[in-house]
Amino acid sequence: MNALVAREFVHQPVGTRVVFGAGARARIPAEVDAAGIRRVLLIGRADPLQDVADEITTALGSVCAAWIADVAQHVPTADVRAALDVAARAEVDGVVALGGGSATGLAKAVALDTGLPVLAVPTTYAGSEMTDIWGRTENREKHTGRDPRVRPRTVVYDVELTVGMPAHLTGVSGLNALAHCVEAAYDSQADPVTVLLAVEGARALALALPAAVDDGNDLAARSEALYGAWLAGTALGSARMGVHHRLCHILGGTFGLSHAETHAAVLPYAVAFNQSVAHAELAPIARAVGGEHGVAAAVWDLGRRIGTPRSLAELGLGHDDALAAADLLAAHPVENPRRVDADGARDLLLAAHTGDRPTHSSTIHHSVTSSGDEL
């Protein structure tokens, strides 16, 4: 039986223009022009996207005033200073980011300081292109914040740029996107549209990722996965980040773990951590990912199916560092369905460090949702 509740929410539509389709990159010059950008700073990794970057610089012609090819993960502050210097010297009035979340992240950092508009051309499933979230890392600490200036004005999703993406990157980046859906779905302040986006994103990702990993050239699977990533990023852009994203930022910024791999390894345990208190919010995600034996176990199973790392130990995090990360996690309050205290943080980190399949009984005390669905 469905329980009815009195709704109360704030919905703020996001004004990003989205162009989606195979071959959409051909529209980049027109979209740059429509955004009023006359001198572009292109930020994009030379390797493995050299050909695409060359194609875009050629298409932009003299509008492309500068190009930063090398991009590091987690947006080191030194790279931001260098990029701001390049932008000022070339007198650019807009930034085009080509690549994964790292390229988008550096473009956002430039926008944060300068207010320059960003046009993003994502090539992974990170979803950063749809959010107002910026990040920078200095002295082994990752700082994040939200600012409307960093949200790209236009996003061009060209599924052809994801065809042939290695299976490993497909898997971990896809679970990074799934993490956005999960945390948006259980954010107590998420509005109904955001939840719909999150659930549909989770459905698309759970459906498409196994096929995209099995055959990296499957255009339909790639299209569905990128569609899911767009929805995931949009949901994250309208929701608050909980314990999962906070922990991944700590593990990336302070312990140097790779971003998407960390998301993939942590997600089942962050879900398990919240599952007992957010069972109603997770019920539609459970249906989307096939979680009749628990969402946490379903996410873990999906990870095994698509070959993602199963534990933080596998990513090279030592036991003592896992405990240190738990201390850091517990030290700062985070908006999360379940309060993150020292014991909970430690249990979460140790479970993610070990990588065992979360069991129904270990994470939830036989909860039944208001709609009668068991998680």
* Residues in touch with ligand NAD (CB under 6 A): 45, 48, 73-75, 99-103, 105, 123-124, 126-128, 131, 133, 135, 161-162, 165-166, 169, 173, 176, 259-260
Q: Which is nearer to ligand NAD, 101 or 228 (CB)?
A: 101
Residues 6+ apart with CB under 8 A from 95: 40, 41, 42, 43, 87, 107, 110, 111, 116, 117, 118, 119
Q: Which is nearer to ligand NAD, 127 or 355 (CB)?
A: 127
Strand pairing report for 133-138 and 141-146: antiparallel
> Smallest distance, Å, CB 135 to ligand NAD?
5
**How many Å separate Cα 20 from the centre of its chain?**
18
Identity of the residue numbered 273: F
> Smallest distance, Å, CB 104 to ligand NAD?
7
Q: Which is nearer to ligand NAD, 259 or 360 (CB)?
A: 259
Q: How many residues does the chain have?
A: 375
> Smallest distance, Å, CB 245 to ligand NAD?
8
> Smallest distance, Å, CB 123 to ligand NAD?
4
Q: Which is nearer to ligand NAD, 101 or 284 (CB)?
A: 101
> Smallest distance, Å, CB 28 to ligand NAD?
16
Name the closest residue to ligand NAD (Cβ): 101
Q: Which is nearer to ligand NAD, 241 or 364 (CB)?
A: 241
Q: Which is nearer to ligand NAD, 20 or 347 (CB)?
A: 20
> Smallest distance, Å, CB 248 to ligand NAD?
8
Strand pairing report for 141-146 and 40-44: unpaired
User: How far is the C-alpha of 32 from the C-alpha of 154, rounded, in Å?
Assistant: 9
User: How far is the C-alpha of 113 from the C-alpha of 149, rounded, in Å?
Assistant: 9
DSSP state of 188: T
DSSP reduced 3-state for 68: strand
